């Protein structure tokens, strides 16, 4: 179980939602960008809610804050980029960062 103040099931669901942004992408680049931004905004809101939760320890809130930051960076990059390939790269980078935080949280003794 990861140490994010929630069960690993909830964290993994967040990660799956991050991955789905790439999988459900339409062919039209503009529509793809709009859909990705909407879904990233939803994910950012989830991460923000957890980062500001008074029920989580400060360390957990800090980790969720980092995730929210990564999501917002990916969204900003997508807003600036018109290339579908570059958008996919940013989404892959976001997924990798979230997975890295998840692995870091699952290490014993932390």
Give the pLDDT confidence score for residue 2 in this predicted structure.
44
Closest alpha carbon to 63 in 16, 39, 98: 98
State how far Cα 55 lies from the chain centre: 21
pLDDT tens digits, one per residue of 4-27: 445 567 777 777 777 777 655 556
Nearest-Å Rg of the Cα atoms of the chain is 14
Entry pTM:
0.65
Give the pLDDT confidence score for residue 16 in this predicted structure.
79
pLDDT tens digits, one per residue of 52-70: 999 988 988 998 899 899 8
CA distance 73 to 68: 9
Give the pLDDT confidence score for residue 96 in this predicted structure.
83
């Amino acid at each position: 179980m990861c140490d994010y103040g929630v069960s690993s099931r909830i964290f993994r669901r967040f990660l799956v939602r991050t991955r789905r942004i790439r999988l459900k992408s339409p062919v039209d680049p503009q529509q793809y960008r709009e859909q990705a931004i909407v879904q990233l905004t939803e994910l950012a809101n989830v991460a923000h809610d957890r980062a500001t939760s008074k029920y989580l320890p400060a360390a957990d809130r800090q980790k969720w804050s980092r995730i929210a930051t990564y999501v917002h960076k990916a969204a900003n990059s997508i807003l600036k980029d018109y290339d579908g390939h570059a958008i996919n790269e940013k989404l892959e980078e976001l997924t990798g960062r979230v997975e890295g935080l998840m692995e870091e949280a699952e290490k014993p003794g932390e």
